[in-house]
C-alpha cells in the first residue's frame, strides 16, 4: 500500500512535468512538476486546518499572518523539490513511467485524477462547512 501511494506521489510529479510542455528546458519542467505536487499538498493542509478549527471551535487558521503562510508554502515547495529533483526520485520515475505496464500506468493516472478531484471537492465542502459553523456570510458584490 505504501508503494502505491509513493508511486501516486511520483505520478503527480510526472504529470506536472509532462503537462508543462516540451518547449521548456528540463529544470523548468521539473519545477512545474514540483509545484503541482506542492499545490495538492497545500490544499490538503488547508482542509486539515479547516477541520481542526471546526473541531476546536477556533478561527486560528484564517487568522494566521500571511508571511507565515508564504513561508510554509516555500518550505513545502523546497521539501518536495529536494525529494523529487535534487535526490532524483521524481526524475527517475518520470523516465521509467512510459515503460510501466499499461494497466499499472492507467491505474496510477486514474488514481491521480481521482485524488485531485476529491481534494478540490473536499476543499469546497470544508470551506462551506467552515462558513456555516462560524456563521460567516460571504459578501456579495451586487
The reported pLDDT for the residue numbered 27 is 78
Q: Using only C-alpha atoms, what is the Rg of the chain?
A: 18
Exposed / middle / buried, residue 117 (Cβ in 10 Å: 0-12, 13-18, 19+)? exposed
Residue-wise pLDDT tens for the chain (142 aa)? 888 999 999 999 998 888 856 666 777 888 888 998 999 999 999 899 889 988 888 877 777 888 988 999 999 999 999 999 999 899 999 999 999 999 999 999 999 999 999 999 999 998 888 888 877 766 655 5
Taking the complete model, does pTM exceed 0.95, yes or no? no
C-alpha grid cell, residue 72:
510554509
108: which residues sit within 8 A by CB, 6+ positions away? 7, 8, 11, 100
The reported pLDDT for the residue numbered 137 is 64
Delimit the domains of the chain by residue range.
2-133
The reported pLDDT for the residue numbered 69 is 87
- Per-residue pLDDT tens over the stretch 101-138: 999 999 999 999 999 999 999 999 988 888 888 777 66
Alpha carbon 16 to its chain's center: 11
Amino acid at each position: 500500500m505504501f508503494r502505491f501511494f509513493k508511486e501516486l506521489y511520483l505520478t503527480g510529479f510526472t504529470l506536472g512535468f509532462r503537462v508543462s510542455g516540451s518547449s521548456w528546458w528540463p529544470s523548468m519542467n521539473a519545477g512545474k512538476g514540483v509545484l503541482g505536487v506542492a499545490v495538492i499538498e497545500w490544499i490538503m493542509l488547508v482542509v486539515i486546518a479547516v477541520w481542526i478549527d471546526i473541531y476546536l471551535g477556533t478561527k486560528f487558521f484564517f487568522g494566521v499572518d500571511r508571511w507565515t503562510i508564504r513561508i510554509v508554502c516555500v518550505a513545502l515547495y523546497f521539501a518536495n523539490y529536494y525529494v523529487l529533483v535534487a535526490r532524483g526520485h521524481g526524475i527517475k520515475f518520470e523516465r521509467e513511467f512510459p515503460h510501466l505496464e499499461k494497466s499499472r500506468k492507467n491505474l496510477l493516472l486514474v488514481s491521480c485524477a481521482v485524488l485531485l478531484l476529491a481534494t478540490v471537492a473536499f476543499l469546497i465542502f470544508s470551506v462551506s462547512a467552515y462558513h456555516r459553523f462560524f456563521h460567516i456570510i460571504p459578501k456579495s458584490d451586487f
